Amino acid sequence: MDAEGSYGSAGTSSDMLNAFEIAALVYDDGVSVDDLIGYFAGELRAGGSRIGGVIQLPPQEQGQKSEILRVYDLMSGETFPIKQQLGAGSTACSLDTRALADASMRIRRAVDSGVDLLFISRFGKQEAAGAGFRDEFGYAVASGVPVITSVRRVLVPEWLTFTGGIGTLLACRLKVLTEWWTETESRRKKLLAAREAEAALLRRRTAPAASPTATENVVRLSDYIG
């Protein structure tokens, strides 16, 4: 990833997950980040990648009741609301705690199923305050699953505080997102192949020696028979 495409990353790599694999698209107000994430998810699925998690539907796909925020489960294909406005003229939103718990369970289920990439649509005010999908981010990272999310530019400091400075910030462009995933997927495949080769070598070294067959005994004894 070139410097223009990535805002930068920090931290040290772990066994299967490094800082480059915890990525957030940085967006400004008015940017259609949900369209970008949805399109990218569709491209990955069409290419055979195993993806999971929940993404927020773009405004034009929210339906007639646009005050209700809906998310899409990438594994099941189900759409469901997680919050809605409190009332006419209100600019505040109320989280549906049951729906949020359901979405959290779906995210964890995707992690447990071994997806190639986990989508969590936002690191927002709820996550910055210690709620929302904050625990699910941690669960995915602890499980070694790459995560892609988005963060509003004004919340970047909170994101960096949450990650301890570990993670990659991406410009909100499809090319940047695609290049990030290509590099991430390539690295993980190479690392997995190396680990499998190492495991196979260890199995060969620790396997008990096979007992010689009767034929092998004869051959060996024949060395002593003039």
Query: What's the confidence (pLDDT) of residue 215?
Result: 52
Residue 216 lies in a domain: no
Question: CB atoms < 10 A from the CB of 183, how many?
Answer: 14
| Segments in the chain below pLDDT 50 | 1-16, 64, 90-91, 218-219, 221-222, 224-225
Query: What's the confidence (pLDDT) of residue 72?
Result: 95
Q: Which residues contact 145 (CB under 8 A, 6 or more apart)?
A: 17, 111, 114, 115, 117, 118
Q: In 27-75, which ranges are continuous DSSP H helix?
A: 33-46
- Buried b vs exposed e over 136-172: b needs ≥16 C-beta within 10 Å? bbebbbeeebbbbbbbbeebeebbbebbeebbbbbbb
Question: CB atoms < 10 A from the CB of 112, how many?
Answer: 12
Please list the residues that pair with 55 across neighbouring strands.
72
CATH number (domain holding residue 194): 3.40.50.300
Closest CA to 71 of 85, 84, 52, 56: 56
Number of separate domains in the chain: 1
Greatest pairwise CA separation for the chain in angstroms: 106
Query: What's the confidence (pLDDT) of residue 89?
Result: 53
Residue 224 lies in a domain: no
pTM of the model: 0.77
Query: What's the confidence (pLDDT) of residue 46?
Result: 95
Residue 212 lies in a domain: no
Residue 169 lies in a domain: yes
Residue 222 lies in a domain: no
Residue 57 lies in a domain: yes
Residue 132 lies in a domain: yes
Residue 113 lies in a domain: yes
196: domain range?
Answer: 6-206
- φ, ψ of residue 16 to 5 degrees: the values are -120, -10
